[in-house]
Structure 1
Amino acid sequence: MTGLSEYSRAAALDMVAGDAALLTELLGVFLADVPARLHVLESAAAAEDLATVLHEAHAIKGACGTIAAAGNMQRMQALEHAARNNNGAAVAELWIESLEQMRWLLQDLHLDYEALRQGHTAA
């Protein structure tokens, strides 16, 4: 893993009671779903479409929770809160940091997903 994100396989495994197969499945679902959602969220943030920002940030927040990506989850929660309160300036500011952090997370998750699929159990 690159180590740029806050992702921890150990924390994620704790979320699934040590079930590496389940974690692998969850990472696969995350990687299949979240990049498209991030694209929609990025477009919505640029267009100041706060309803879509709210919806996508909420969905991504939940996905982050399933893999114990707490920092990313908190950033999405803050973005969701700003959109809910019609604070476009806060959305614009929060989005920049959130996008960078999510890109790092996706990079680390891709690496860990492939390692888990190949049977590498070292965290």
Structure 2
Amino acid sequence: MTIKIYHNPRCSKSRETLALLEQNGVTPEIIEYLKDVPSVDDIKQLLTMLNFDSARQLIRTKETIYKDLALSTENDESKLIDAMVAHPKLIERPVVVNGDKAAVGRPPENVLAII
């Protein structure tokens, strides 16, 4: 089974998580999600694997685009997911996937539970 990391090489936490995986003998498939944007179905699947109740839990709420789109008042889950697809910068990072499990690498040590 291939372990995947939704990675942003410009993010220190994402780089730290990738390094931690490698230190533990894992060579993950790297998905640079800003270039290879996850689909609506991909995000729904991540939300399920993460056991998140709301798409908002996977959104970076401090991003300017979050405020610009007035997402803090949006309660329609499909609109939140559509916003992440349209603006992948909104997706929390990094996310590591191993089979049917996933973890957000904040802090990076969170991903150790699924490898």
* Greater share of helix: 1
* Greater share of strand: 2
After TM superposition, the score normalised by the length of structure 2 is 0.34
After TM superposition, the score normalised by the length of structure 1 is 0.33
| Bigger Rg over Cα | 1
